[in-house]
Structure 1
Amino acid sequence: MEIIKEYRVKRIFQGRVPKGEDLFRWLTQKVNELGIKAGMVSGIGAVTRATIGYYDQIKREYVIKSFEQPMEVLSLKGNVSVKDGTSFVHLHVVLGKEDFTVVGGHLFEGSEVFAFEFEIVEFEGEAFQRGFDELTGLYLWQP
């Protein structure tokens, strides 16, 4: 089943997350403070430590791993929709290590900012609502 909506850009924000903040928590709080229900988030920077996850499709659960080392945020990308009546930020990240290898996955709380610059784009229009999807075990956009 195809699920698609067309949006226009309402507002665009650029900024910097303060050093020492939890990246996931701060971006989620900022989206809620700004009243954004539909949009996208992106950014680059560095973290002193990170917590990311991989969704095990067989077990239908996230495998979460913490990295207690400084890494570059090569790319952070995500979207904003509504889950249980509130703004929900879904973020993925690619992180570069000191040895030039990379790790990536779903961003969770526990990623401490060293330096991070972001863009938040708010869409004009009715936001997608997240609901439980039996086929995947995930909370996905609903028609």
Structure 2
Amino acid sequence: MRLISLALLIGIATPALPQQPPPGMISPSRPVAKGMAPGMKFKLVHTGTGERVYAIIFSKGDEVISGLTDFARQNHISDAHFTAIGACESALLAWFDIPQKNYRPIPVNEQSEVLAMTGDIADYLGQPIVHAHSVLGRSDGSTRGGHTFELHVNPTLEVFLMADDIPLGKVQDPGGLKLIDPTE
């Protein structure tokens, strides 16, 4: 503690420590695990001027946000949007609490239909960032929805992704969110 205080007093720059979210909250800067979608397969189904369309199929046990992030890295995608339908065995959705600047988790720990999943991919500091929202249908017909942090597939999820050749960039806002900036 004394070293940090001394460093501040004499003006030495110290690296900022990552801020931990309050208990029960999820940070907007939560890292995405790599390699969590080993069953993912894809096919380029259309190429046009400035655009490519992919069919990306996830298998049982694949985690979708990890898989889409890996796919974007491997295929050098820095601007895309996508839609998906299918089913999952569990998911971690969330709702952004603006005053807290963190997400409130909405765990879904049951087999559900992925009624709608939509999102985008854009570049932040040289890395693709996947931003997705999902609406999940439960066995009683009720739904859960929100920002998608994790979605564990069972038995399949079908994603149609449109990748554009003109990259889009993201910037971090004061709350820690990485938002698309069309001037980047």
TM-score tier after normalising by the smaller chain length: 0.7 to 0.9
Identity score, percent: 26
Q: CA deviation at 1:124?
A: 2.0
1:141 aligns with 2:175: no
- Against the structure 1 CA distance between its residues 19 and 9, is the aligned structure 2 distance closer, same or farther, given a 3 Å change threshold? farther
Using the alignment, how far apart are the partners of 2:133 and 2:98 within structure 1? Answer: 17
Q: CA deviation at 1:27?
A: 1.5
Q: Cα deviation per residue 1:12-69 (whole Å; 9 max; x = unaligned)? A: 0013112111111112111221111101121100000111110001211111122110
| Counterpart in the other structure of 1:5 | none
TM-score calculated relative to the size of structure 1? 0.86
Which of 92, 104, 110 is residue 133 of structure 2 equivalent to?
Answer: 92
- Against the structure 1 CA distance between its residues 29 and 137, is the aligned structure 2 distance closer, same or farther, given a 3 Å change threshold? closer
| Counterpart in the other structure of 2:171 | 131
Runs of at least 5 residues in structure 1 that lack an aligned partner in the other structure? 1-7
Q: Which has the higher contact order (CA 8 A, sep 6+)?
A: 1
Q: Which has the higher strand share?
A: 1
| Counterpart in the other structure of 2:118 | 77
Which of 56, 62, 69 is residue 103 of structure 2 equivalent to?
Answer: 62
Number of aligned pairs?
A: 133
Tell me how large the CA RMSD over aligned residues is: 1.5
Instruction: Report if the CA contact (8 A) 2:124-2:169 is conserved.
Output: yes
Please list every run of at least 4 consecutive aligned residues from structure 1 whose deviation after the TM superposition is greater than 2 angstroms. Answer: none
| Counterpart in the other structure of 2:66 | 25
Using the alignment, how far apart are the partners of 1:132 and 1:38 within structure 2? Answer: 17
Q: CA deviation at 1:137?
A: 4.6
Instruction: Report if the CA contact (8 A) 2:78-2:169 is conserved.
Output: no
Runs of at least 5 residues in structure 2 that lack an aligned partner in the other structure? 1-48
Using the alignment, how far apart are the partners of 2:169 and 2:73 within structure 1? Answer: 15
| Counterpart in the other structure of 2:36 | none
Using the alignment, how far apart are the partners of 1:77 and 1:37 within structure 2? Answer: 17
Using the alignment, how far apart are the partners of 1:13 and 1:137 within structure 2? Answer: 30
